[in-house]
Amino acid sequence: MIQSYKKPLQLEEQFDAIIIGTGMGSLTTAAFLAKEGRKVLLLERHYTAGGFTHIFKRKGYEWDVGIHYIGEVQKENSALRKMFDYITDKNLHWADMGEVYDQIIIGDKHYDFVKGVVPFIDKMVSYFPEERKAIEAYVDIVFKANKAMGKFYINKALPKIIGNLLGGMLQKPYKEFSEKTTYEVLRSLTDSEQLIKVLCGQYGDYGLPPKQSSFAMHASVVKHYFGGGSFPIGGSSQIVNTIDPIIEAAKGTILINAEVDEIILNKQRAIGVKMSDGKSFYAPIIISGAGIMNTYKKMIPKEHKIYTEFSEQLTKVKPSVAHGCLYIGLNGTPKELGLPKKNLWIYPGDLDHDGCVDRFLKDHEQPFPVVYVSFPSAKDPSWSDRYPNKSTIDIITLLPYESFHQWDATRWMKRGETYEAYKERFSQRLLNHLFEYFPHLKDKIDCYELSTPLTTKHFVNYEHGELYGLEHTPDRYKQKFLNPRTPIKGLFLTGQDIVTAGVGGALFSGFITTTAITGKNLWKKIYA
């Protein structure tokens, strides 16, 4: 049951676990624990549950904040689909986006990403006839990386002693991929910089261009979409709506408007949480889905030795990229407006991905290094029943937190005219990208609103407005402290920081966190 902390509460006297946050990792952990008969209390500082899976409504429209498409759920027997079915009792349903799920636009050239491994290879070969061998080798190495990935993450769920004994053996195969950059791997397969740029056309899904990102992260995303893309029917709010009854059935509760200020420690054990209003909740297990930076830098008492110890550890990782998203409302149905289901990835044609990013970071007036356009109202078959004669579009680009830092001390919706004017400049530039491909939409725009890194910081509580938690560099995969278990007894972590970015990564984090807590083989139950 979802309740507001600001209103009279109906709560159990005792809970088996308290979870900080309601992002995908937290919700998944809660659902898995609930399936094990555990009463769980989830505490969410936002006025709505879901983390990056939440929606917001304004001016008669609804926008999905973080979910634009999900792969692998089309296959009923895939691990991702099985986990979703398990934690929702099969009440979460998906709409297929069709044959073409992503279109990569580089300058004036268009490249379709089509579902199915063989069709994908054939389509890429049609664009690069001389590169068949490289393209086939690329697909092969993507599969090899993903095959090695499972043991790498399962090791995180093992008891510390066993993990230390087996860790080297389980993790070594994955290091071949995780400790190399995406560009290193692809450059070993082909000399074609254009092919590399096309194959890295989804890098925005994890936020780092190919010369900086770990190939392991890249391979995970690419494999994720080989079977095509899907969208939750009813919008991403259905994720919370279908998981909440599972939590409630085990007498658990989700509290919104409930900000945790501190994790209460008794010597080396976590025993509860203190809220921003001073009230406390207690449970034998505390799980943080608020991100590793927030957990160790903001919620652990500064006088505790763990705070000092992890201050040094946290210098080894960096927050991921920040972003801006232009949420657009339009008059007319998706069909009337000719909105596609596929996503557009728009890039400048003159430099490689890393060069485009570097140029923009030095001068924000330069072309955007990436512009991602999503048409959620076209992807959701229930949209027009819920919002007749309306449509929505999301446009996302890189926006560094530093460029908005001057307004950091201001309040949401009260940041002043200069801030709004600055936002408007970016909004118009993004609209121009849209109109370049859909000029007929100029007269159909009803409203639009740009979120900035400060928006992300306000609602999701990431210090620098980061989108993907920690950067997915090769160094990230070397850090042993990115683990569901912490040095503090009774304190566990979940969410994208301990696995990878994205819904799939966060979902899997819930699985390994619950495995670490219960010591049970949950695969047997998922595939029962």
DSSP state of 361: H
> 2-65+76-90+234-317+482-526 belongs to which homologous superfamily?
FAD/NAD(P)-binding domain (3.50.50.60)
**Scanning the structure block, which residue is given the tokens 């690069």?**
128
The pTM is what?
Answer: 0.96
Q: What are the φ and ψ backbone dihedral angles of 219, each rounded to 5 degrees?
A: -65, -35
Q: Is 332 left (phi over 0), alpha (psi -120 to 50) or beta?
A: left
Which pLDDT value is given to residue 110?
Answer: 98
Burial of 331 (0-12, 13-18, 19+ CB in 10 A): middle
pLDDT in tens, 363-405: 999 999 999 999 999 999 999 999 999 999 999 999 999 999 9
Mean pLDDT by 10 residues, the chain (528 residues): 94 95 97 98 96 93 95 94 98 98 98 98 98 98 94 79 59 92 98 98 97 98 97 97 98 98 94 97 98 94 83 90 97 98 98 98 96 98 98 97 94 94 98 98 98 94 92 94 93 96 94 94 90
Structure tokens at 257: 């408007």
pLDDT at 163: 57
Domain positions in the chain are: 2-65+76-90+234-317+482-526, 132-227
Q: What is the pLDDT of residue 226?
A: 97
The per-residue pLDDT for 305 is: 79
Tokens of 506: 């966060």
Type of residue numbered 327: Y
pLDDT digits 0-9 by tens, 405-441:
999 999 999 999 999 999 999 999 999 999 999 999 9
- Cβ neighbors of 60 (< 8 A, separation 6 or more) are 329, 387, 390
- Residue 157 to residues 67, 271, 394, 510, Cα–Cα distance (Å): 27, 21, 36, 11
- 516 phi, psi to nearest 5 deg: -65, -35
Interatomic CA distance for residues 352 and 197, integer angstroms: 6
Largest CA distance in the chain: 68
Phi and psi dihedrals of 228, rounded to 5? 100, 180
Check if the beta carbon of residue 415 is closer than 8 Å to that of residue 452.
no
| Chain centre distance of CA 87 | 18
- Nearest CA-CA partner of 260 in 270, 252, 269: 270
Q: What is the pLDDT of residues 264-284, one digit of tens each?
A: 999 889 999 999 999 999 999
- CA dist 192 → 93, 99, 354 (Å): 40, 26, 16
State the pLDDT at residue 154: 79
